[in-house]
Amino acid sequence: MNVIAGLFLEIWKLFMEMAPYLVFGFGIAGLLHVLIPNEKIYHHFSENSFRAVVKATLFGIPLPLCSCGVIPLAAHLRKQGAAKGPTISFLISTPTTGVDSILATYGLLGPLFAVIRPVAAFFSGIIAGTLTNISETKENKMINGSNNCVVCDSEEPHAHTIMQKIKKMFIYAYYDLIKDVGKWIVVGVVVGGAIGYFVPASIVEKYLGNPWLAYPLMLALGIPMYVCATGSIPIVASLIMKGMVPGAGLVFLLAGPATNTATISFVAGKLGKKATIAYLGSIAFTALLFGIMLDMFFNYTGRNMRMIHGRMTMLPEWLHVLSAFLMICFIMITLFKREEEKEVAGMAALYKVPNMTCEHCKITLDKAIRKVANVTDVAINLKTKEIKVQGDAKDEQVIKAIIDAGYTVEK
């Protein structure tokens, strides 16, 4: 019982430190979603130029999408005519950080990490996009695409009231977005709490206190793993407090969210070998470079722990307790709300989509398939990764719609 109580207190402490920044960050993400629809940024990415790479990187940094959720958006960018360079830049900078993770980073890891993390994401996107532009000589021309309303998804010209936009902002911020990343935040906090309670500081100091061992280890762990930008923060914070060099933590914070096996597969299949090399190479190079720079600066300041310690003491106790309970409510609603899997009536074609993993994937695929001629209904099951399509649509057209959305399909 003492062990359970101690572990619970460690987890609760971590969660309370993050909660106010998460609540505020998700709210800002919802505001950005309503004010800056995805369709409004597509036309900026069609040029195979340095300017387009910078635009794509800057657009990607504040958006709160994980390395899984960014795949269909990157696929749509390509379909709309975006050049490979800006697409790669967007694909790297978007999942590496976001408004919610920047604030949560500040809350747990202090001002130094909160500043250097988006800066590193920016440089990583710039380097990858520039290298890809250099290797690609073919110009991409913009094509006309859909202009779906972010509030109701209609393509017809219309307007919404302020209250309708505010409602959509809250639904996206505190339901749609948390439904995608909530479980990863829970996993991150639990793992971080377990590290803080069970792992002796001497073990972490011995193996991860050596930067030349810690850097490659955290890079090797981060690249293939699926970990969201926010969920990775409590894990890194716990390891640093136990003795890991801060630079190794930054390596994991950059490499982990930026890529995983699914995004590597997407880049290789959709953008080619040269883009894949630029993609992985820039992530590894930037993560190691900024990790080393962070440790050099940290040592230069006399290993001042205030630089890498959370700023939660600036906020009143009641605020982080209230925020923690709010976040628990939001996560519980998304985790335990039972949504009946829709079934289509009559005969339906069945498609297996193995890399469909989140609610964002489900929404993207539903929209893409419904646009195929003669499709009358679509039912998607995330658990079984199966899609049932009713109607007289041709098989090859449905498969093409799934592939164009950025996914693989097994028939």
What is the largest distance, in Å, between two alpha-carbon atoms of the chain? 71
With contact defined as beta carbons under 8 Å apart, do 82 and 45 qualify? Answer: yes
Collect all residues with Cβ–Cβ distance below 8 Å to 105 and sequence separation of at least 6.
Answer: 97, 113, 114, 117, 233, 253
Mean pLDDT throughout 42-69?
Answer: 78
Give the residue from 201, 146, 120 showing the smallest Cα distance to 404. Answer: 146
Mean pLDDT throughout 39-45?
Answer: 63
* pLDDT at residue number 72: 62
Mean pLDDT throughout 367-389?
Answer: 85
Cβ density class 392-408: b for 16+ within 10 Å, e for less: ebeeeebbebbbebbbb
Torsion angles phi and psi, residue 246, rounded to 5:
-60, -35
Res. 340: pLDDT tops 60 = no
- pLDDT tens for each residue of 204-219: 777 788 888 999 999 9
Output the CA torsion 18→184→124→290 (10° steps): 50
In the beta sheet, which residues pair with residue 389?
349, 378
* pLDDT at residue number 4: 87
* pLDDT at residue number 252: 93
Query: Which secondary structure element, helix H or strand E, spans residue 60, and what is its range?
Result: helix 50-60
Cβ density class 166-188: b for 16+ within 10 Å, e for less: eebbeebbbbbbbbbbbbbbbbb
Torsion angles phi and psi, residue 273, rounded to 5:
-65, -40
Lowest mean pLDDT among 26-30, 273-277, 286-290, 299-303: 26-30
- pLDDT tens for each residue of 108-147: 888 889 899 999 999 999 999 999 888 866 544 444 445 5
Domains of the chain: residue spans and CATH: 2-332 (no CATH), 349-404 (3.30.70.100)
Q: What band does 329 get if pLDDT is binned at 50, 70 and 90?
A: very high
Give the residue from 213, 217, 218 showing the smallest Cα distance to 250. Answer: 218
* pLDDT at residue number 145: 46
- pLDDT tens for each residue of 239-254: 888 889 999 999 999 9
Higher pLDDT, 247 or 197: 247
* pLDDT at residue number 288: 95
| Token pair of 288 as six digits | 């190691």
- pLDDT tens for each residue of 141-180: 444 445 566 676 666 667 778 888 888 889 888 888 788 7
Res. 237: pLDDT tops 50 = yes
Helix (H, G, I), strand (E, B) or coil at 211: helix
Q: For residue 176, what is the DSSP state?
A: I
